């Protein structure tokens, strides 16, 4: 609670940093903020044209010419938020080394800035994707409520893992290199590009132990109109809370040493 009160006291610094980061991304661009819509719109268009119209890709037992495009975009939407938070959080202390040395402010502001920035980007992507679903007649409607618990659990998992790696990365720089390789393997071990139904039964059962497979599956069923089951989210929540506790414990124990190491 004391940490939350401190973060609230520095809310101006946090929100200002998020705003500056968002503006700096398009500062010298002719189209400016319009790129936040153009990029995700181009992504959805490319996947739709290539997989639905050119390759004629189809999902087993799912009707509709756009089913695979929706499946793919939903999975990439989930994975994109996860990797953005994890990769930025694992480098957040290194990237802000000068700030940490010169200014006195709660260090937890930095991971929070990462989360808020990533959620803004995710929100823009989601709005574009929902617009696409509305056009093709696949808008989920009232089922969107299921997105909130899944998004909350995913955010806790991402920042918990990211802060854990971020603290370790200050003292062991190999952590950042290794995590990039691990995330690449993790991506292909998660049913995003391919449906889980094509996997052998023994391997498909292991997906229950992959938290990103659980989260991606919830997003995919939500947008494809499948049966919603949020019960598997409980195990991911436990893992997310464990990472948050571990990350916070490492941060509190080594916060004083990080400035010297940097």
Question: Mean pLDDT over residues 143-170, rounded?
Answer: 92
Q: Give the whole-number percent of the chain exceeding pLDDT 70.
A: 84
Q: Is the model's pLDDT at 207 over the cut of 70?
A: yes
What is the structure's pLDDT at 7?
Answer: 73
Output the CA–CA distances (angstroms, integers) from residue 177 to 18, 26, 169, 180, 182, in the order listed.
26, 28, 9, 6, 9
Q: pLDDT tens, 55-86?
A: 555 666 666 677 888 888 888 889 989 999 99
pLDDT averaged over every residue in the chain? 82
Q: pLDDT tens, 82-95?
A: 999 999 999 988 88
Q: Give the whole-number percent of the chain exceeding pLDDT 90.
A: 26
Question: Mean pLDDT over residues 88-112, rounded?
Answer: 81
Q: Is the model's pLDDT at 36 over the cut of 70?
A: no
| Cα 51 → chain centroid | 24
pTM: 0.87
Query: Dihedral angle at the C-alpha atoms of 206, 211, 217, 222, nearest 10 degrees?
Result: 150
CA distance 245 to 76: 27
What is the structure's pLDDT at 116?
Answer: 92
- Least confident among 34-38, 89-93, 136-140: 34-38
What is the structure's pLDDT at 228?
Answer: 78
CA 243, 248, 253: angle at the middle one, nearest 5? 130
Q: Is the model's pLDDT at 168 over the cut of 80?
A: yes
Q: Is the model's pLDDT at 16 over the cut of 80?
A: yes
Q: Is 7 within 8 Å of 107 (Cβ atoms)?
A: no
Residue with tokens 């919830």: 218
Q: For residue 171, give both structure tokens.
A: 């003292």
């Amino acid at each position: 609670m004391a940490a939350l009160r401190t973060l609230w006291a520095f809310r101006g610094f946090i929100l200002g940093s998020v705003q500056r980061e968002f503006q700096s991304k398009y500062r010298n661009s002719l189209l400016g903020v319009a790129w936040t819509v153009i990029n995700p719109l181009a992504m959805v268009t490319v996947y739709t044209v290539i997989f639905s119209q050119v390759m004629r890709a189809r999902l087993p037992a799912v009707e509709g010419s756009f089913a695979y495009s929706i499946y793919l975009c939903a999975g990439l939407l989930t994975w994109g938020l996860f990797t953005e938070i994890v990769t930025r959080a694992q480098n957040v202390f290194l990237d802000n080394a000068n700030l940490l040395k010169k200014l006195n402010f709660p260090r937890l502001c930095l991971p929070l800035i990462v989360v808020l920035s990533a959620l803004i980007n995710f929100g823009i992507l989601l709005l574009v994707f929902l617009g696409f679903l509305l056009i093709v007649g696949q808008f989920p409607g009232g089922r969107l409520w299921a997105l909130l618990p899944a998004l909350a659990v995913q955010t806790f998992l991402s920042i918990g893992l990211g802060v854990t790696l971020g603290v370790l990365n200050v003292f062991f720089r190999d952590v950042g290199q290794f995590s990039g390789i691990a995330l690449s393997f993790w991506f292909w071990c998660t049913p995003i590009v391919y449906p889980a139904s094509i996997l052998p039964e023994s391997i498909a059962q292991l997906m229950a132990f992959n938290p990103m497979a659980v989260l991606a599956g919830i997003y995919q069923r939500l947008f494809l109109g499948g049966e919603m089951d949020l019960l598997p989210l409980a195990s991911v929540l436990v893992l997310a809370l464990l990472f948050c506790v571990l990350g916070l414990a490492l941060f509190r124990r080594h916060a004083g040493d990080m400035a010297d190491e940097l």
